[in-house]
Structure 1
């Protein structure tokens, strides 16, 4: 492949990635509204007791089909969270039917986003095939798309924050990251609000909630960007509404806000709070579902994200790849708790992770937290 083709290919990869995240964020909004209004039972538990919804499967099918259509189904490698095994079971026929319907409804809007769509509606077998195509395990060689179709599924089913995360890894390095945050309005300071019931929203509040956002970055540019999420039949030239985002300039821990996961199952709140206190933080932690925590740091709504997983838990690359790159290109610092870069080259897990993950708006806060970790670790009961 000639150099000119490779440059064009990179431009196309970013363009398609941003557009497909916009597309599937709209899908997620519709499914979440349906879950909230109807108490739908279209949610299943996986073998590890985590939740999976119509949206998880549908997003994965749509993204898989689009990426394969643009970049070739024979050569493309996609690493994603869901597999089609449980969806193919006889007792999941209702869920599969809902997924197929949702996928085809989503494709009906593809042209509005400037994307290709199937010439005819996909059949169940084709949807399952698209989901199954996301079976790569990544690694240090070649290109691998990494997808978390609905990051923060618990937040999603509760009407709270969640994200669609798509990244591209080349030779073990994250080179593109796109993060769709349908419940994170463009207006700052609304990170911890739940999706309100449409029955009691004033027009102004409803309009605010309709404006989620999509953030993206390319490795090595030193820039990260945010767009308002496209809504309904509204057609916009998104480039006119795209604006750069930058991390907060706050360096004083006493003024800083730190984020951590809501769930206690795979993180230690007490250890994080102890580290924050030792480093000089005075504010209460902001507990947020999903990679929206990375989004908050990238655009300056918070300064720190800490996660210290309990023994035996292994971090997956799809939970971090897109968010890490966006924070870094927005001027932030992301490492493990020992201060080392995260390694996305070892497959689906962040192997060799030192104790936890620390994302900060700058080096001053980052150094204080790493120092506090080293000072506190021996007394930890993680």
Structure 2
């Protein structure tokens, strides 16, 4: 008898692998100088974002036609800009040609398992409709695939770290998470916690790694190759005896955030450690760094309860860290609620704290102390 969600995991790994190769081919063809369009919220989006979302939803919809999809992108800009749509369609056709034959995903050392070809849109119009299947906004009931085809578009454009993200929510709960890191130079055989993650630690010649988790079944990391995936290795953290003063806090690019970074710094310095320890722009790459033991603490302390964050920035990545033994709670100690649609709102989950159990309570206590000073 197969483990729960075995089929979903196998397909998700295959899709994220293909989307990772697709996005990295864009980087290599344009020599890490990717142009971006600007969305209505002023955030950047590239042809790789659109094409990867089309690939992901098309392949999933062919196998699970009754499932719901929630993605970051919509086809609105493509419908208004035929030239841009043509460029995205050309990229999808390129991927279709690359993955049209039976591929092989190496699941165990010394063996291969043949997998059927992925499904792709048959026309440009069908591609636009498929991208728009991801514009749903409900996650509380049923099976919902949440995706961010390129998390960290700004650093993707410069050839630094980014993530290809896919997660399955069932009745608002994370069940499967798969995150491809096409630019991450990480030796999957090295001890967990021994390798740092940096924006410029780029896998120039290879295809990076992919991490996956299923609820209750642990987290695994695999190398990605042009023809498939390497052997799965379970991510296991040793019981930490690290002093609080040695904790490594991960942060986004300094100053470019609506979070309260001065309070992030105050927490770190109250624990006697330097801030920041690691700087990574992509939110999902922060979860990858935590999962791989490359950093120890992530804080998201908003300036007020009107602040929100998007579900695709956290679904899947949180499951990776939790299945590797990590803890993630909001500032009040509650679990993060993925059942409220596209947004994780500050009124329901105020902020986030992520750390391994040995450090979590101490970090949480200092966070509360620092925030109490805000209200005095």
TM-score scaled by structure 2? 0.87
Deviation at 1:54, TM superposition (A): 0.6
Structural mapping, 1:262-341, within 5 Å: 262=253, 264-282=256-274, 284-290=276-282, 291-311=284-304, 312-341=306-335
Structural mapping, 1:73-92, within 5 Å: 75-89=66-80, 92=81
Structure 2 unaligned regions, length at least 5: 105-114, 188-193
Structural mapping, 1:1-382, within 5 Å: 10-37=5-32, 39-41=33-35, 43-72=36-65, 75-89=66-80, 92-110=81-99, 111-112=102-103, 114-118=115-119, 122-187=122-187, 189-194=195-200, 206-207=204-205, 210-221=206-217, 223-231=218-226, 235-236=227-228, 238=229, 241-247=231-237, 249-250=239-240, 251-262=242-253, 264-282=256-274, 284-290=276-282, 291-311=284-304, 312-351=306-345, 352-360=347-355, 362-380=356-374
Deviation at 1:9, TM superposition (A): 7.5
When you count helix as a share of all residues, which structure comes out higher? 1
3-state SS in 2 of match to 1:315: strand
Deviation at 1:272, TM superposition (A): 0.8
TM-score scaled by structure 1? 0.86
- 85 and 62 in structure 1: CA distance in 2 versus 1, 3 angstrom threshold: same
Cα contact 1:261–1:267 (8 A) shared by 2: no
- 316 and 333 in structure 1: CA distance in 2 versus 1, 3 angstrom threshold: same
- 172 and 354 in structure 1: CA distance in 2 versus 1, 3 angstrom threshold: closer
What is the CA–CA distance in structure 2 between the aligned matches of 1:22 and 1:357, rounded to whole Å? 29
Higher mean displacement: 264-273 or 144-153: 264-273
Structure 1 unaligned regions, length at least 5: 197-204
Q: Where in structure 1 do 4 or more consecutive aligned residues deviate above 4 Å?
A: none
Deviation at 1:161, TM superposition (A): 0.9
When you count strand as a share of all residues, which structure comes out higher? 2
